[in-house]
Homo-oligomer: A and B are copies of this chain.
Amino acid sequence: MEKKIINVMPFACIMTVTIILFTANLFVNGDQEWKPSWSSKAAEEAEAVAAIPCSGHGRAYLDGLVLQGHLPVCECHPCYGGSDCSEFLSDCVANAGSGDPLFLEPFWKQHAASSAVLVSGWHRMSYIYSDGSYISELLVKHIIKVHDIVGNAKTDGKYVIFGAGSTQLMNAAVYALSPNSSSNPAKVVATAPHYAAYKTQTEFFNSRDYRYEGDTSLWKNKTDGSTRFIEFVTSPNNPDGKLTSAVLQGSNVKSIYDYTYFWPHFTAIPAPADEDLMLFTISKLTGHAGTRFGWAIIKDADVYERMLTYLTVNTIGVSRDAQLRALKLLNVVVEGEGREIFEFGYTTMRDRWIRLKNVLSKSKRFSLQKLSSQYCSFFQRTRDPSTAYAWLKCEREEDKDCYTVLRAAGINGHPGSNYSADDRYMRLSLIRSKDDFEILINKLKTLVAQS
């Protein structure tokens, strides 16, 4: 397999898939009005399913379960029910738990034509792309183009590899940075509050090569040349949305920068990141968590090779169907130079943050993390906070378990201890569907009014 070093040739000379294919099509069909042939049935199926309204409180999918009456079943948003999702279930719990990025779903419905893909039955059956790798070269070029447009990461002279979301890449990176020594395994650390999976995943795989060793605060000024430290850094941080950087220093300290949320939806972009190992995922860029597609940008050739081996041994790379989907979605991002999707994402998230702050400003029982306006090099202006998650604190002495306080008020979030933090804190997800956010706001209003 060939090394896939980033091609620094200007992207301009690579035409977007859309333009290319349109041209190719004209070449084949001339100027006549085009009529579908073998693709007609698939197109018709997709449009028929999309036309099922589910009252605006649910969706029907091509692969949804079906009623005996043969219609696809509407899959209702939380707190909605009935065969067409028109019933509001008033006694239900607000879902502010998982970071399901459904806030971007309306964007894709608005861009139906440009984001659809028709996959033929014989598309990419092989294990390999034409260069013998498991990685689509065209998709790598699109990813680089997206980073160039957004200005959130330097990619020149670096390597790009793919994983099933950043999830798979996290452990691949830990493996690649570990010294393969059971007598002196690498110490994996992170700074609380932090995303739970760094700890749970590292412990789960229980390798002889590395061990999870808790918070960076335990190891400050205690790193030495003999033990490899691997620090997970999330910026902006999950759960609290703050821009962060590595805590540990030293010749034997390596960092994995998780830039999942480093997009204009959620944060100002002060400058492009230029770290040795950076993780990104489509989940929080386009909102397609279900596609399971992420990528790592890697400076060092050895680390790249080791991660590539991990991906091969673990799953023989990432589904070529997921790669095709990601290509089409990123092509839409690239076509509009990112303006459309990031304006949509930022506006949505900023408005949600403002509304949440307003509701909680009426209460001394709860407080939110402090976030300030900041200059964004992408928008070329100062922008307001628009964080993915609220990091809520219960301020009353007796409210030691903030999760339970909110759960009693019909709101489901994640307890602070999930993030190796005090349970006086909890995380509320703000990136879910509009329905979920509205129910959350209503429940919070009631709670604040009663407090």
Contacts and interface: CB of A to CB of B under 8 A. Distances in A.
A64 B130 contact: yes
A408 interface: no
A130 B49 contact: no
Interface in A1-58: 13-15, 17-25, 27-29, 34, 36-52
A350 to B, nearest CB: 21
Nearest to A171: B314
A118 interface: yes
Contacts of A121: 108-109, 111-112, 114-116, 328-329, 332
A210 to B, nearest CB: 10
Contacts of A410: none
Nearest to A139: B63
Given A108-B122, A120-B116, A64 B319 contact: no
A327 interface: yes
Task: Kindly state the interface size class of chain A when it binds its partner.
Answer: 35 or more
Contacts of A38: 47, 50, 112-113, 116
A315 B207 contact: no
Interface string A373-386: 00000000000000
A115 B38 CA distance: 9
Interface string A125-144: 11111100000111100000
Nearest to A292: B319
Contact of A313 (B23, B113, B119, B200): B200
9 contacts: A21-B49, A62-B123, A112-B121, A114-B121, A121-B328, A121-B332, A168-B314, A205-B205, A290-B319
